[in-house]
């Protein structure tokens, strides 16, 4: 079983720091490319803990509810 987390972090057009977690590498890469193509820096991070790491917004894109609420175009 693969326990590697698939996380990206970027600074949105609003100035907010955003962390997204994905269930698969392909989706993570697709979001990374869209963010970078919009002119924003995007980095892969190995881990994220809500209690200890800083982000203005964390979205678990593995959740259908989070996917429904988050529109990347609003942030880039």
- SS3 (DSSP) at 52: coil
CB 14 within 8 A of CB 71: no
pLDDT, tens digit (0-9, with 9 covering 90-100), for 8-49: 999 999 899 999 999 999 999 999 999 999 999 999 999 998
In which band, very low, low, confident or very high, does the pLDDT at 2 lie, cut at 50, 70 and 90? low
């Amino acid at each position: 079983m693969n326990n590697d987390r698939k996380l990206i972090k970027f600074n949105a057009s609003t100035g907010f720091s955003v962390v997204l977690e994905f269930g698969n590498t392909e989706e993570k890469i697709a979001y990374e490319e869209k963010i970078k193509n919009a002119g924003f820096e995007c980095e892969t991070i190995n881990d994220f803990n809500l209690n200890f790491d800083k982000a203005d917004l964390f979205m678990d894109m593995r959740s259908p509810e989070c996917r429904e609420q988050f529109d990347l175009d609003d942030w880039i």
